[in-house]
Amino acid sequence: MAEKFLTSKKTTWMIGGGLASVAIMAGASLVLLSRWMVQEPLPATNVAQISQTGKATSSAEFEVETPELEADAPATVAAPAQPVVKKPSAQAIAAKRGLFRISNPTDYPVRVALLMRKPGKQKTADKFELPAHWDFAPQEGSLKGLIVSLPNKAVEVKPGDVITVFSQDGSRRYWGPYVVGETPIPEWNPQVGEWKLTLEP
């Protein structure tokens, strides 16, 4: 009988503890849900405005006209601002220094690495600046190409710079190395002052 009493007491404590836990969890859920519930916006306060006659009138007395949109009018979306790219000067075009345009019509994701030669005669080990690179998805800039730049300066490619391209999908495909002004690729466009690199599939 003592065992029956202890078991029923134990069961009562378990049921009571379970109910208390459920009540606590329900209360916490209500508190959390009340934070995310949509609430009515606060009413606009009437601000006293001075009319031309000098009398104070409330803003409720004014009617606000809202332009109605025609159903037939197409919605216009503002185009994102294009970065300003300066065309190279006449001296730069004469020296074949210009912007760098890249086109990847291949099915490979690629990385284009550029070693820019430092101006003037340098030692063999120190004749290039730090390399720069850009990643292109398959078919990115496929026909027209994209002009590339660096965050802290414009890229001006000139004869003697070295370009290497390699795939990033593990296929071990690569293009180059190309020496600007010495190999047929990239091509110089004197009308716009650009070097264009178009990868061959």
Q: What is the pLDDT of residue 16?
A: 73
Q: What is the pLDDT of residue 99?
A: 92
Q: What is the pLDDT of residue 201?
A: 82
Q: What is the pLDDT of residue 49?
A: 45
The residue type of 28 is A
Q: What is the pLDDT of residue 179?
A: 94
**Nearest-angstrom CA–CA distance, 149 and 191:** 20
How confident is the chain (201 residues) per 10-residue block, as mean pLDDT?
58 73 71 53 46 47 51 54 57 78 94 87 71 93 88 88 94 93 92 92 82
- Tens of pLDDT along 52-64? 445 544 444 445 4
